Amino acid sequence: MNKRVACIICILMIAVKVSAADKKLTQTIISDTSFNNSIETNVKAKVKSSPKVNSKLALASIDVQLDLSSIKSELTGNETVFVYARAWQGSRVPLAIKRFKLNDLPSLVTLDSSNAMAPGKDITSVEKLEVLVRVSQSGHASPQSGDWLATTGPISLETQKNPVLPNFIEQLP
């Protein structure tokens, strides 16, 4: 037998021994009840300590029906429209926001967690919401003089079934 064949046979024998040892170790771990119980206990503890998630709210969204007919005569069609939701009370920072050009504006806009500005700060992080629609002459995110503002609220995601319809109530001075 030449040396090359002998080396290959040795390597195969080692591989078989390692495989057998690995199989035996795996069987030992699987049959070790205390090891399995320890893993199960740790998993249960993690699940128990995790915050509870309301599955209805996790999938929550709010539909906003848009009707600009009351201010249509004041608009050129080049304006930017911001549709957003924020906490009814507390921080005035939007929890969800969408931006459109007036000419591309759909009649129904859906806001959900995918429209959040920051992780963990979305429409499901508060009990009640205020929905706003702002038509901006300048296109800037912050309100400017001459912008039109529509608002509605308070809105609860748990009870809201139909699309909300903000009413245009003011033009910012």
Q: How confident is the model at residue 55 (pLDDT cuts 50, 70, 90)?
A: very low
Work out the mean pLDDT of the chain and round it to a whole number.
79
Per cent of the chain over pLDDT 70 is: 66
Convert the pLDDT of each residue in 79-116 to its tens digit: 999 999 999 998 899 999 999 999 898 999 999 999 99
What's the count of helices (H) and strands (E) in the chain, helices before strands? 3, 7
- Cβ neighbour number for residue 79 with a 10 Å cutoff: 23
In the predicted model, is pLDDT for residue 57 greater than 50?
no
The reported pLDDT for the residue numbered 98 is: 96
* Closest by CA position to 166, among listed 144, 134, 122: 134
**Residue 89 near residue 135, CB atoms below 8 Å:** no
Task: Compute CA distances 35 → 8, 30, 123, 139, whole Å.
Answer: 38, 8, 42, 61
